[in-house]
Structure 1
Amino acid sequence: MAQFIDNEAETKAMSTVKHRVDAIRFAHLIADLPCPNQHSEVRLAVRRAKRRKSTRQQQVLGLTKELLDRMVVACPDTLSGRRDAALLSVGYDTLCRSGELVLLRIEHLSPCRTRLLIPRSKNDQFGEGRSAYLSDDTTAHLNEWLDASQITKGALFQGLHTRKLGERPLVTASVRRIVKRAAERAELTRPEVSALSGHSMRVGAAQDMFVAGFETLGIMQAGGWKSQNVLARYVEHASTHSMHLRRWKRLSEIHAEARMPAQSGLALQPRYGCER
């Protein structure tokens, strides 16, 4: 086991190594066998791998309100365009993961189409669900999609075949493609398009809420987070950027005040010993 971890760490990311170590642990537990993960050699091998590899995960680009509006406006007035606009807007308002978006059904939508039940998530394996509310703009985009598609039951967001409903729900890979395609239509830069993913709506909404001054508990409830550490990784770029903006603004004000002449109306008196 320790040798396996050393070999994997040479070519694999630390997150991949961790997933495989956890899988081995789970297999032993299911088989009612002694778990090797607690052995001292295995624990030392994991520590060696962490020192060799960075454990920091690369954060996707957050789809903030500014980017969202640009991408939604760029969606064409077609059946697929209306679906894409509705999916992007719903994903932003509900802070859903791509896996949660594809599980949404018409039955989860309230009669007035302003509230959604998220039936299941990664942190909710037993299906307790959580409620999410939609803005007026998102409800309008959703109404346009449902009226055009005539969906009355089944998956809320369905795939299209030859510009017609395929009667099958989207998969998570489809959500990622829709996000990137909408970004290309909005003429985002190539690095921005590459950094976007099906998770970007969730990240961007959390960053916007943090910058707007929402409390951590409120953001966690809105997105269904169980850990503050996970949320902190989502909003760290937004918080750091906001902090630097405030810093630069305050420093500019201080420098401006230092350059301003005295406003007392009295001429500055020369120092003693400096008169000529």
Structure 2
Amino acid sequence: MSEIVPLTRLTVTRNSDITERLRQFVQDKEAFSPNTWRQLLSVMRICNQWSEDNQRTFLPMSAEDLRDYLSFLAESGRASSTVTSHAALISMLHRNAGLPVPNVSPLVFRTMKRINRVAVVSGERAGQAVPFRLTDLMALDKKWAGSDNLQVLRDMAFLHVAYATLLRISELSRLRVRDVMRAGDGRIILDVAWTKTIVQTGGLIKALSTHSTRRLEEWIEASGLSSQPDAWLFNAVHRSGRIIITEKPMSTRALEQIFKRAWRTAGKAGAIKANKNRYTGWSGHSARVGAAQDMADKGYPVARIMQEGTWKKPETLMRYIRHVDAHKGAMVEFMEQYAEPDIPG
């Protein structure tokens, strides 16, 4: 618990049972994804500080205090999605501490409903990564084809794999050279150990097209990684032109720089209006969003797209493809088929 806030500093009801359950919770943190755990730590720090500043009890938290805390977040300018995330993580913390969950109170329910309604009416819209489409991938491929620059070869291979697999950026960073295998026809298949939504011993298999296979092969051969099966598949490249083998995979920030370089190379700088002060160019989620939109645009059913992107909830995917499917609705089809072609003025 010391990595969050020392237990002695938490604004909690002094109870040895709660303290022990919290210690057990921390011991089992591997049950959760690193990102979920980082978010929990952040929420605990913020909420605990608010509780101290306002003479409230952080754990257990009453429904009245949770209502006031969520209202504070909204009034401080936090997005409604952020407020929702705080509420969910506070609920998770109480459950794992064996405490009554304040979120079930009508007070909290009404507060969240009010926050979401006010946000929507005031014009708040969910942010979305700028899609990196197949046309973008092939345009970059054409520009970078024939380059002997190791960083360019790495970037091209990474973008091909990111688009072809729909993996999240953290999942791409964990790929190792030993995860590269061959199908019967010679194309590459990747053995993905686990994803955010699939954590099982069987893992997940992702296949690459012939063209993407070639780009990944070029990177592996030029970098000399073929003789290092335990190395990460994508590594930093030193300005001297050699790869840097490290114990830890490339950071999200370093991998997002690949998308930023691609954005500049494509000549798109300044072409996008900022969305929620973010998403002014391609980012870590862009290939995943773009691939989903391309598949939807070509008529692939939602179930198949969900399988490719390992989405568990259709509504998550629909946020990415809602604009693509906008003209495929039943009413649009009905009007196009049966409306009179000439409408009198």
Both proteins in one fold, TM over 0.5: yes
Structure 1 partner of 2:96? 30
Structure 2 partner of 1:146? 220
Q: Say if 2:293 is the partner of 1:207.
A: yes
Residue 126 of structure 1 deviates from its aligned partner by: 4.1
TM-score by length of 2: 0.67
Residues 155-203 of structure 1: CA deviation (Å, up to 9, x unaligned) = 1111123332111322222222111111101212423482321111111
Structure 1 partner of 2:134? 65
Q: Say if 2:184 is the partner of 1:130.
A: no
2:148 counterpart (68, 77, 80): 77
Residue 141 of structure 1 deviates from its aligned partner by: 0.5
1:20 counterpart (86, 105, 108): 86
Q: Distance in 2 between matches of 1:174 and 1:127?
A: 29
Q: Distance in 2 between matches of 1:84 and 1:241?
A: 35
Structure 2 partner of 1:3? 68
Q: Say if 2:233 is the partner of 1:156.
A: yes
1:194 counterpart (280, 289, 300): 280
Q: Describe the shift of the 1:18–1:81 C-alpha distance in structure 2 as closer, same or farther (beyond 3 A).
A: same
Structure 2 partner of 1:50? 116
Residue 115 of structure 1 deviates from its aligned partner by: 0.8
Is the Cα–Cα contact under 8 Å of residues 187 and 209 in structure 2 kept in the other structure?
no
**234-243 or 173-182: which moved more?**
234-243
Q: Distance in 1 between matches of 2:202 and 2:236?
A: 27
Which AA in structure 2 matches 1:222?
E
Residue 58 of structure 1 deviates from its aligned partner by: 1.3
Q: Relative CO higher for 1 or 2, CA cutoff 8 Å, sep ≥ 6?
A: 1
Aligned-pair identity (%) = 32
Is the Cα–Cα contact under 8 Å of residues 172 and 198 in structure 1 kept in the other structure?
yes
Q: Describe the shift of the 1:127–1:2 C-alpha distance in structure 2 as closer, same or farther (beyond 3 A).
A: farther
Unaligned runs of at least 5 residues, structure 1? 259-276
Structure 2 partner of 1:234? 320
TM-score by length of 1: 0.83
Which AA in structure 2 matches 1:123?
T
Q: Which runs of 4+ in 1 moved over 6 A?
A: none
Which AA in structure 1 matches 2:177?
I
Is the Cα–Cα contact under 8 Å of residues 95 and 205 in structure 1 kept in the other structure?
yes
Residue 90 of structure 1 deviates from its aligned partner by: 0.6
Map 1:82-121 to 2 at 5 A: 82-111=153-182, 112-121=186-195
Which AA in structure 2 matches 1:205?
A
Q: Distance in 2 between matches of 1:164 and 1:147?
A: 12
Unaligned runs of at least 5 residues, structure 2? 1-65, 273-278
1:220 counterpart (306, 330, 334): 306
| SS of residue matched to 1:195 | coil
Q: Describe the shift of the 1:17–1:128 C-alpha distance in structure 2 as closer, same or farther (beyond 3 A).
A: farther
Q: Describe the shift of the 1:159–1:211 C-alpha distance in structure 2 as closer, same or farther (beyond 3 A).
A: same
Which AA in structure 2 matches 1:27?
L
| SS of residue matched to 2:311 | coil
Larger radius of gyration: 1
